[in-house]
Each structure stands twice: as structure tokens, then as C-alpha cells.
Chains A and B, each alone.
Chain A
Amino acid sequence: MEQTLQPQAGAMNADGGSGAARRNRALFANFFRRELTARYLGSITGLAWALLHPLALLGVYHFVFTTVFKAGRFGGASFLVFVAVALWPWLAAQEGLQRATVSIASYGGLIRKVAFPHELVVYASVAATLVLQFAGYVAVLIVLGVAGESIRFEGLLLALPLWLVMATAVTGIALLLAALQVFVRDVEHILMPLLMILMYLTPILYPLTLVPEGMRPWVAANPFGWLVARMRDALIDGRLALQWGDAVAMLVAVATFGAGRWVFRRLSPHFEDFV
């Protein structure tokens, strides 16, 4: 084992030699497993909680919108399916960001005493959340399908890559937030209300077509709105054809990831002093 540390150079980079790569894989696997088990191990309901929370939310939305507001059908699906298909990815992204933001602090003891690429912590945190949430997503779709709702299951073929595009972008934002949180503790507190506002500004609980004409381009500019629309294309309408927009979205996601990682790597050598 040989290592040379240069000031400002990437001794902490996730992609060093093959020895470093092997080590980083082992470390990621360790963190990932730990994130999965620790998350639900302490709670009585265990993994079921991962499903219960969104199901309960869905139930409440069903009550409010279908029963109280008497919302009709949107785009050939019941309101419940219409919301479920979009709400899940949003909740996954939201939870992924919130957990990742504070992830560095929870590994503080390690960061202060051992040399390892700090970004692995964020990767493990985001991956654990998204994997669990994707499993929940599929399970809920099955529940809805069994309940007689019309779900186009072949749409999962597109939903999975879409989910990966989302994961790429979410990881990038998570890297940014996690790095900032180390220095400025307010990030965590601003994030919660901000995500709440963003959720209502995204066409999750309503279709874009109901938005007044003049405001529509603003709402449509939301990248998450694109994801929601594509999810509905796939799972409600069964339209699997790729669009040019998908390539653009992928580029945006990769660029987001790159930017987030750049910021993270700029700041991470100084974590030790602040975490």
C-alpha cells in the first residue's frame, strides 16, 4: 500500500488506484448495509414503516381530494393512482435529501480520526433511502393494481431508469447540502419548509393542465415536474417511447451530480475541523 498526499490534491478521491477502489467498495457496502439496518432496526414496526408512511399519506390525500373535494379522474386514472405515481418519487427524493444533509455529522467520529473519502457517507445514505423507497413504490403499485386500479406495469421498464436519473440528480444536490451543512447548520432547518413549498409548486397533487395558462411555463420549468409527467406517461398511459427531453434530463442530472461533487470535494478536506 502506498499513498502520497499532496496538499489540495485528491488523496481522498473516491477513484484512486485499484486498491483504493476496492477499499471504497468495501466501505460503501459497510455504510450502505448499516444505513439500511440502522434505519428501521430500532423501530417496532421495522421495515413496514417504510411503507406505512406513504400509504397513510395516500389515504389522507384520498380522503381530502376524492371524498371531500370530490376530485374526478385525471388522464384516465383515478385521483389516487394519479397522485400515488408522482408522490412516491417526491417523497423518496425528499427523504433522501433530508437524511443525506445530516449524514456527515453522524459520521463525525470517523471523519475526525480516520482517512476515507467522505462522499461515501452521502452515497450510502442516498442509496439506502432510494432503494427502500423504490421497493415501497413497487409494492404500493401492486397494492393499487390488486385493488382494481388500472396500472400499466410494463411502465416500470421506464420508471426504473427514470428513478435512476432522479437518483443521480438527488445525489448531486445531497452532496451540496451535506457539505454546506457541516459549515452552516441552518441548511437542515431551511430544507424542511423549502421542500414543502416545492412539493406544492410541483404538479404532484394536480395536473399541469389545471394551472392558469400564464403561470404554466413557470410550473413546467420545474425539473421534478418533468419526472412526474414521465412517470405518469409510463405507469398510467403505458407510453414507453423515449423523448428528446429524456436526454436533456439526463444531462441535467449528471451536471447536477458533477456540480454537487465539485463543491463537496472542495469543502470536504476541511470537515475534520467543523464536523
Chain B
Amino acid sequence: MKHPASTPPGVESQRRALLRLDRIGKDYAKIESRGGRLRLVWDLLRGRGAASVFRAVDGVSFELRRGQSLGIIGENGAGKSTLLKIIAGVIQPTRGSVEVNGRVGALLELGSGFHPDYTGLANIDLAAALLGITPSEIATRRDEIIAFADLGEHMNDPIKTYSSGMVVRLGFAVATALDPDILITDEVLAVGDESFQKKCVKWMESYLERGGTLLLCSHSMYHVQKLCAHALWLKDGKVVSYGEAVAVTQEYLAYHEEKTAAPKRPLAPAVAQSAGIYAIERFTLAPEGEMPMGGDLRLSGEMHSPDGREPVVLIGIVRADGTPVYGVATDMDAAPPRRVAPNRYAFDLVLPRLPLLPGKYSIRAHALDPEGVRLFHTVEHSLVITGVTREMGFVRLPHRWEDK
């Protein structure tokens, strides 16, 4: 589940890290009384830190090389946004150093740094000026941005009259047209309406293929695994875990399983509202409901594709308590679903001699877009594995006791 391998960049840029953070820390002043602000000003003027601080980020170090995207995960308030702001240069770290060797494009929250009173066009010029691009240089790119954002007449209206979706569209268009070496994004992968989301995902894929580097802050483990090679888990401003994306995200999910004592994890609501999305239309198990351990399980189903392109199916097995056991998608195995009608695709999956230990499981089928990025629809069946064994865990692993 990694993004496509990057084209090999120059030897020089390979040796040098695109981004290096060394024991970064950021304190925020805590204002406790009415005179606290005055006191803070006085402390800052004397060159001292604030008397009472909140450590938003503490001792974070990592290195980013070209093409090695990084996902930053963690709960709300873990310091993710602060870390991104430090990397984008918006705030200076209280401790440690940041080294950036490339152009950083940041999409922080909605519309990265637009002035609400400026028109869309004026904001493009402002964004260019912020990057040191002169109005004449921006002229050619401006057309690209306008075309990508596709906001029509609204380009001449002040940003404050835009809907949040429109602001994000313009923000994405600006950030991408300036072709950053590192793109920092704050959970805005799928923005705007259906057709614009498609554009975003397409752009993101080609950006990664070109060797672009993504710094993604997301609550979607799926996106982190799909788009990033590495992941960093922040908790209370500190790094809990840093390494391969799949490993870190699983550790993070396991932590959440433990935290939510409730046995049942609420499933993301199925979003099959209209004919406009990729949806699972039929999903059956054979045998149904119950099967002996070690038997063959057959899954089959059909999907609706609104635009006729072939969607991705992701099959997941989870324990009744929500612990993921196994997941596999058609795009991982390069086994696309069969087209049975212009807007209909079918899939069949066999899991021979299913090694699940007795217990209650959920088998889920997820419909994803053809890029395999956005999850549209989920159908779930429960399955009881019967049998008697004293083995522990979820899965019987092939094993052998040797007598030497």
C-alpha cells in the first residue's frame, strides 16, 4: 500500500534531505490573568520566554527525503498542526532547528493564507508575491490556476463571499500550480464537489509519480497508508512512533481499540445516497452466517460505478471488537473487478481453508474510487467461525513442532 515509486532524482538531492527537523519544540504562552498579556509582552521584550507555557510540540526530529512522503497522525490537540506550521515557517520553534531545502507549498486549513477582502485573482497574485514570484512570472501560471480552480465569474469577487468549498478549490489550485517540492496538507485531500475531488486525487497521484513529496496530516489511516511511505504518530506533542506507514498506523489503531473500551466500534455511516457514487450493490458470503474453521469462504458481489470506470473493492475482516485482522484490495493484487454492464462491475474472492480461529467476525466490502483513494460505501456481514480449539489469537498460523 505505498504510493508509486518515485522517479530517481539527482544523486545530489538524494544525499541531501529535503527537510530535516532536529529536536523541535514549541511552547505557547499561557495567559492566566488579566494583566497576563502585559506581563508576557514584558517577558518577551526582555528576551525571556513566557513564565507559564504549554508545550505544544516537544523534541520532534525526523528527516524527509525526496519522494518519501510522510503522514502525521495523532489525536486532536496532539500538536500536528503546530508541527506543520513550524515546517511551513509560519511559526518559529522555541527549541531545535528546521532545515528546508526546497519550496514548501502549504495548504493549512481552509485556503492557505488568503486575504478575505481580496478577490480570487488578487489572492493569486498575493500568493505569488508570498513566494517571491513577480506578477509577470505568475502570468502564465495564473491561467493554469484559474482553469484548475474552475470558479468562473467568482474569480472577481472577494474571497469572503466564497463558500468554504470554493476557497479550498482556489487554495488547492494555487498550491499545486506553484509546483512545490514538499506539499503540506492538513486533511484537505478530498475537497469540493465530486468532479473537483477527482481532479485533486488525480493531481496528487501524478505529483507523487513525479517524485513530489507529501507531508500529510490526516485522521484517515487509509490515506496515510495509501499515500505515505512513512508515518509519525504524535501524542501530547511528542513522537510516540515513527517508521513505516503501515506499522505506525496499525499501532495507532491498536491504541485506539484499547482506549475505546466499548466492544463495538461504530462503523462509518454508509453513504449510498444516490446513483452518483461508487457503491456495493450486492455482497454475499458463501457459506452464509456460520462456517467451520478451515473451510473455504467465497465472497462475491457487484458494484455500481457512476462514471463507468472500474472501481476498487477492498475486502476487510475484523473481529467483533473492531480489531482489524486482514484487508486486501483489488488494486493491490492488480485484479480489477470484471465489467458486467456499462456501470456495473462484479468481483469474486475465494479465501481457501480460512485460518480464522473460532469466534465472531465481520466481513466488510468497501467501494473505492478507481484511484483507490476515497472510500464511498461499505457493506458488512457478520460471520461466526465454529470449531473447538484452545489456540489463542485470531488466526491459525502454519506451524510445526520439531522433534530433534
Contact = CB atoms under 8 A, between A and B. Distances in A.
B95 A7 contact: yes
Interface in A237-265: 263
Contacts of A267: 41, 44-45
Interface string A20-47: 1011001101100010001000000000
Contacts of B99: 4-5
Nearest to A273: B28
A220 interface: no
B94 A7 contact: yes
Given A22-B132, A114-B112, A184-B41, A7 B89 contact: no
B53 to A, nearest CB: 11
Interface residues of A, number: 41
A199 B72 CA distance: 56
Contact of A184 (B37, B92, B103, B134): B37
A180 B38 CA distance: 9
Contact of B125 (A4, A22, A30, A266): A30
Interface of B: 28-29, 37-38, 40-41, 44-45, 47, 85-86, 88-103, 106, 108-109, 112-118, 122, 125-126, 128-135
Cβ-closest 4 pairs across A and B:
A23-B132, A115-B89, A114-B113, A113-B113
Contacts of B91: 269, 272-273
A225 B89 CA distance: 43
Contact of A11 (B37, B89, B118, B130): B89
Contacts, number: 113
Given A27-B129, A113-B106, A115-B88, A270 B117 contact: no
A184 B131 CA distance: 31
A23 B138 CA distance: 13
B45 A266 contact: yes
B340 to A, nearest CB: 48
A112 B45 CA distance: 21
Nearest to A24: B132
A20 B89 CA distance: 14
A110 B93 contact: no
A8 B44 contact: no
